[in-house]
Structure 1
């Protein structure tokens, strides 16, 4: 708009109505010697096209150009007078042009002032504080919101730096952030203005802009007081919820411990009584006691698991176990209930089913018991069937499909999804025929998901229901025979002095695979139960009633494994384990330690493993679970260093070839072992697993079952010791050849 006004004034002064006439007039000026004047007018027209009169630097440049034109015009007049060109018409033309230049200058000054005022009015209308600084940090432009937030007047801010309007701390931080912005970085910082009540929280943003060949820093404040208040309120709510959750978790942990400790004794001792000579009626009565106790424990486990699932803190184990035995145990637990209702409880386990696998036997057993219990509850007559099928199998893992079907009342199609909701039942009325908490299927579904499976259901009212899920389980590499229970034998328990000796069984010689077990347990009932179970499995237990006694015995005698109760007086199991591990750093042999605890909350397993324990058993502990926990160590103790006869059979009796393979392994075995150690040290589990698999593949050639068993346990110290035994035996065989 300014350009057109300028063009109009120049045309009027020169008497030109279009561009062609203007060019002619300018040429006439040059012809009479007014070249500088003509060039100045052209420069003004060009400047009009690109000038931004709102910026003071450009205005000063234009003023300088006008001064130059005036000086040149004065020189021209002097030159014209000297050459006799000072005619009347010439003087009038010069005065007219001088008046034109003066009008142009005034016009430019008015436009600059107008635009500056307009810019400041626009800035003042903006709802956020804005400022403009030069490279030295002087404030050149800012709006009223900036004056309000800094609590300074315009006179106190204009032309000054941050040191004049802010505290030293704020000024230092501002200088540091400005330096980063001048380097081209986008800088944002969160600040709190304490001069307000309540304080205001702002984000200060900066960026560098260019204009008229100069650089400026443009900045603005964003008020985030409401967002900060909401964030603080949310944080307080989260902290309050976490505090409540911790209190709830602690309550559940204590409740679990208080229930599991006596229930461990009830279930364990009734199991032992059931194996003694009883009348049919006594057996039925004791069996009902045991089934009721296990049902109670299942409810406790369900409540705890639901709490942990809701908190996202449920742990899934990865331990070796006997799959067939686990299923048979679950079916056995529920058989009495089925018999009481006159139902047939079937169990279908195909011969192709792998026996020794790694996974979470406790959770699988819990899911099966829940599904079987539901099936029994909703089946008035007929049968309930538990069936397993092998869906996929390879060297590393297998996929097992678990199915529980019944001939019960069935589920309407519109209720199939409802049954997986917490506290929901198909019949939720107070007069419903079948009771329950409505948590069972919810827990089952979530446990299966955590085990990388999915619980599916199909049903038809009046025809029964089918629940099934498929989960992946890893192979252990152990032969099935390795997990068979050892023959029953006992030497009697060697006791620490602070524990009264329980009734000892008749002494027998140690059987192959018999373990020297240190039992650290303070509860008298659980002591008696654990000793009886260990003796029943053919092991040789030593009892310690405190953590101090356990530490003393573990560091003075050799044991194959330690069963360590976590909660004990004087020194708890975690602390005792740490002391044992520190003692082992002096070059002592690694002693496997298995935690035993009545606590079953999220994080308990991790705390045990972090303390240096090798495995974890939650109470109540029964014969089957104890057998599974000790099975890898039994396999180590019972297995021979080499089975040369079996190795020869694999090679059709070619002894020369077997000697050649032995010599190669003596060369390559140490390198394979170094590869395992390097992978473990690097934290590369896949590489370590491949290296162990290669090592076991060679060990199989020599029937080195002890070393193979040690590799399945994951105890590198035990595996290294077993390998050294293999090397020694192979060297002896080669030397005898």
Structure 2
């Protein structure tokens, strides 16, 4: 018994006496009673030995009962002690775990807190005390209203309620103005559950550095945008200020060249015109590069004639080649498809640049454009354009630089060849936009081959008769621009005769021409435009301001308005808007053509968005003006189709024109359907591409009205303005084009041969 008590007391000594004495006190009292009874039992045993054996049995029974009672009490006490020992051990582990958790929370670099449903703070770490600038006693068991500003507390209640009601993480940005400098923090809170109760766990993250970096980035972006706007504005102003006098120089030079002058005067004026053209090319290079860098160029896919593309390029470069005594030629194998789908405008721009460079860096010999077929994939053929020259060549160590912007082989002050260093950079970017590649192979002193390959889509149009390769003419031989000999050779000789479209325009002008209201404030350009218009047989009324345009246009006496954009008082865009607003109430529609020196990216779209029907960029030559005004001849029903001009662009190939017409009758409705689906879906990029492709096909047939309406729709899309009106006007115009094409196909080649009525 003593040993059991000793072990019990020893076990109790290992426990917290104060905690366990209260729990074991009843058991200890019972143990003391048992010890007293045990002492009495030992005394009684001595007397019982002397008693009768008969009585021994009764005494044994009584002793056994008490012994059993003591053993049971010992077992019960031992079990209770084991339970209490286990409970005490568990409480200690819990206390150890809690202490560890507190240490971990205090070591975390972010403030953390735990609140109950009433908003009382139950737990938090030392970092939270630092952030709130309050002690633990000021926070524990209190709510946010007890130690925060009313404004902060009100915002906290709103965010807490949002987290309680939604069960989702709620995160907000806050500024802690009590710090110096103020801290920007991200406060997050979320409801958690434990032991059947709900709590709100929250934490702060210091985002001051991130916000400062974001502010710096935003400032940098705004500065870059401001710089970009300043650059664009500068380029626009530069373009306008250069093109305005250049319009006068080139226009007047062209007029004098058409007059009766001697050979020396003609040669001198030809040099003047060439110099002016070179200056204008520099301006165009800068503007083109700006457009490409700004991502404001669209790539279209329309059917075009590859051979005609090459021919147009060589014709455009023929004067420069003749001045240097060079021969131009093209080599197009018979297996190269003639009609493909792609962007002929961008291809022509690249080809013109490469041929122009080849002429500039070639002192003697020839420049040849070669076409070949590369890889075939996904219904497309990779067409390889190669421009071969016999010029000075490019050193190998410079070849990787020449496609970079502003880079030149020779950038010294003693260089022999000028230029902006943008031409090849523009070519590279345009080729990349067309999913192609460009490269150069060159040997100094022997010449260079600049080649680019672009994937073009097959059209299904039957290829014309095989074309023989075109030979290179030696300098001194004449120019042959016949459309029937199957080849194109450009050497020295006379310039080509006016196009059939130009002759038709002259004929139409001779029959009375148009009543033109000319809005132009520059005296030189006034004189030039009046001279050109009167020479074409048109009657001109001249005004020099937007207000004067409004006053004269209200009389309804003119067939067309040529509108300068930049004018004092009321500019051309504002004047056009007021005219269109007046027409919407009173009826009628007078065609308005922008004739402006503003030729930056988006200028054309802004003119069309304002309500103009067409756009001419200065300097304007007489051929451009003829072709533009031809569209608005009253006796031609606004020229639904300029199929004679289209025929001229195809070298007189009437069968090919009929095949293209049949192709568009099949593809046109599909293009319109694709456009309608994109518009209905609100897909602006897809809509823009679709209308761009549609417009590109319409241009092939000279469908002036439909092209103008397509451009108005494109302008509305670019400006993010309502497009429904423009689309509604374009649809019936397309139907008229389909009808005209059907009539053209029904009339056949014989109808095309008939003289214009």
Q: How far apart in 2 are the matches of 1:570 and 1:248?
A: 25
Q: Which residue of 2 aligns with 1:570?
A: 569
Residues 228, 464 of structure 1: CA spacing in aligned structure 2 closer, same or farther, 3 A cutoff?
same
TM-score between the two structures when normalised by the length of structure 1: 0.68
Q: 1:149 aligns with which of 114, 123, 131?
A: 131
Give, in angstroms, the shift of residue 367 of structure 1.
Answer: 4.0
Q: Deviations over 1:351-378 (max 9, x none)?
A: 99989999685x6665444323311222
Contact 2:112 2:127 in 1 (8 A): yes
Q: Which residue of 2 aligns with 1:209?
A: 192
Q: Is 2:504 the counterpart of 1:486?
A: yes
Q: How many residues of Structure 1 are paired with residues of Structure 2 in the alignment? A: 605
Q: Which residue of 2 aligns with 1:22?
A: none
Contact 1:679 1:687 in 2 (8 A): no
Q: How far apart in 2 are the matches of 1:180 and 1:687?
A: 43
Q: Which residue of 2 aligns with 1:230?
A: 213
Q: Which residue of 2 aligns with 1:579?
A: 578
Q: Secondary structure at the match of 1:637?
A: coil
Q: 1:339 aligns with which of 313, 322, 337?
A: 322
Q: 1:380 aligns with which of 349, 354, 363?
A: 363
The 5-angstrom pairing of residues 523-542 of structure 1 reads 523-542=522-541
Contact 1:256 1:600 in 2 (8 A): yes
Residues 192, 390 of structure 1: CA spacing in aligned structure 2 closer, same or farther, 3 A cutoff?
same
Identify the structure with bigger relative contact order (alpha carbons < 8 Å, sequence gap 6+): 2
Residues 487, 100 of structure 1: CA spacing in aligned structure 2 closer, same or farther, 3 A cutoff?
closer
Q: Which residue of 2 aligns with 1:131?
A: 113
Q: Secondary structure at the match of 2:161?
A: helix
The 5-angstrom pairing of residues 492-511 of structure 1 reads 508-510=510-512
The worse-fitting range, judged by mean Cα deviation, of 414-423 and 262-271 is 414-423
Q: Which residue of 1 aligns with 2:148?
A: 166
TM-score between the two structures when normalised by the length of structure 2: 0.66
Give, in angstroms, the shift of residue 382 of structure 1.
Answer: 0.3
Q: How far apart in 1 are the matches of 2:566 and 2:395?
A: 48
The 5-angstrom pairing of residues 512-527 of structure 1 reads 514-527=513-526
Q: How far apart in 1 are the matches of 2:447 and 2:412?
A: 22
Contact 1:321 1:628 in 2 (8 A): no
Q: Which residue of 1 aligns with 2:615?
A: 616
Q: How far apart in 1 are the matches of 2:9 and 2:729?
A: 105
Contact 2:111 2:204 in 1 (8 A): yes
Q: Deviations over 1:508-563 (max 9, x none)?
A: 532xxx55543322212212222333344555544332212223333432655432
Q: How far apart in 1 are the matches of 2:286 and 2:553?
A: 37
Q: 1:120 aligns with which of 98, 102, 126?
A: 102
Contact 1:404 1:466 in 2 (8 A): yes
Contact 1:710 1:719 in 2 (8 A): no
Q: Which residue of 1 aligns with 2:427?
A: 444
Q: How far apart in 2 are the matches of 1:176 and 1:482?
A: 77
Residues 640, 135 of structure 1: CA spacing in aligned structure 2 closer, same or farther, 3 A cutoff?
closer
Contact 1:425 1:438 in 2 (8 A): yes
Give, in angstroms, the shift of residue 267 of structure 1.
Answer: 0.8
Residues 364, 533 of structure 1: CA spacing in aligned structure 2 closer, same or farther, 3 A cutoff?
farther
Contact 1:676 1:688 in 2 (8 A): no
Residues 316, 108 of structure 1: CA spacing in aligned structure 2 closer, same or farther, 3 A cutoff?
closer
Q: Deviations over 1:155-179 (max 9, x none)?
A: 1211222222333333333333333
Q: Which residue of 1 aligns with 2:51?
A: none
Q: Is 2:545 the counterpart of 1:546?
A: yes
Q: Deviations over 1:384-410 (max 9, x none)?
A: 235689999xxxx99987653322233
Q: Is 2:709 the counterpart of 1:714?
A: yes
Residues 110, 576 of structure 1: CA spacing in aligned structure 2 closer, same or farther, 3 A cutoff?
same
Residues 676, 145 of structure 1: CA spacing in aligned structure 2 closer, same or farther, 3 A cutoff?
closer
Give, in angstroms, the shift of residue 442 of structure 1.
Answer: 0.9
Give, in angstroms, the shift of residue 320 of structure 1.
Answer: 12
Q: How far apart in 2 are the matches of 1:174 and 1:339?
A: 82
Give, in angstroms, the shift of residue 597 of structure 1.
Answer: 2.1
Give, in angstroms, the shift of residue 71 of structure 1.
Answer: 13
Give, in angstroms, the shift of residue 348 of structure 1.
Answer: 7.6
Contact 2:506 2:626 in 1 (8 A): no
Q: How far apart in 1 are the matches of 2:276 and 2:736?
A: 48
Contact 2:305 2:339 in 1 (8 A): yes
Q: How far apart in 2 are the matches of 1:725 and 1:345?
A: 38
Give, in angstroms, the shift of residue 458 of structure 1.
Answer: 3.9
Q: Return 5+ residue gaps in structure 2 as ranges.
A: 1-6, 11-18, 38-64, 462-482, 484-498, 643-668, 711-727, 743-757
Q: How far apart in 2 are the matches of 1:222 and 1:458?
A: 58
Q: Is 2:442 the counterpart of 1:424?
A: no
Q: How far apart in 1 are the matches of 2:631 and 2:341?
A: 12
Q: Which residue of 2 aligns with 1:9?
A: none
Residues 360, 96 of structure 1: CA spacing in aligned structure 2 closer, same or farther, 3 A cutoff?
same
Contact 1:590 1:717 in 2 (8 A): no
The worse-fitting range, judged by mean Cα deviation, of 209-218 and 135-144 is 209-218
Q: Secondary structure at the match of 2:97?
A: helix
Q: Which residue of 1 aligns with 2:282?
A: 299
Give, in angstroms, the shift of residue 276 of structure 1.
Answer: 1.8
Contact 1:291 1:334 in 2 (8 A): no
Q: Deviations over 1:679-724 (max 9, x none)?
A: 797479889989x99xx99xxxxxxx99x66445437658858979
Superposition RMSD on alpha carbons, in Å? 5.2
Contact 2:563 2:593 in 1 (8 A): yes
Q: How far apart in 1 are the matches of 2:689 and 2:410?
A: 53
Contact 2:631 2:639 in 1 (8 A): no
Residues 110, 631 of structure 1: CA spacing in aligned structure 2 closer, same or farther, 3 A cutoff?
same
Q: How far apart in 2 are the matches of 1:725 and 1:89?
A: 116
Residues 265, 390 of structure 1: CA spacing in aligned structure 2 closer, same or farther, 3 A cutoff?
farther
Q: Deviations over 1:177-216 (max 9, x none)?
A: 3334332323222222111111111222233333223232
Q: Return 5+ residue gaps in structure 1 as ranges.
A: 1-11, 16-62, 492-507, 642-670, 698-704, 731-737
Q: Which residue of 2 aligns with 1:501?
A: none
Q: How far apart in 2 are the matches of 1:349 and 1:550?
A: 52
Give, in angstroms, the shift of residue 226 of structure 1.
Answer: 1.3
The 5-angstrom pairing of residues 660-699 of structure 1 reads 682=680
Contact 2:184 2:211 in 1 (8 A): yes
Q: Deviations over 1:607-652 (max 9, x none)?
A: 22332233333221123333454455456435699xxxxxxxxxxx
Residues 382, 355 of structure 1: CA spacing in aligned structure 2 closer, same or farther, 3 A cutoff?
same
The worse-fitting range, judged by mean Cα deviation, of 174-183 and 425-434 is 425-434
Q: Deviations over 1:655-685 (max 9, x none)?
A: xxxxxxxxxxxxxxxx99x999977974798
Give, in angstroms, the shift of residue 329 of structure 1.
Answer: 7.3
Give, in angstroms, the shift of residue 260 of structure 1.
Answer: 0.9
Give, in angstroms, the shift of residue 573 of structure 1.
Answer: 0.7
Q: Which residue of 2 aligns with 1:28?
A: none
Contact 2:300 2:689 in 1 (8 A): no
Q: Secondary structure at the match of 2:368?
A: strand
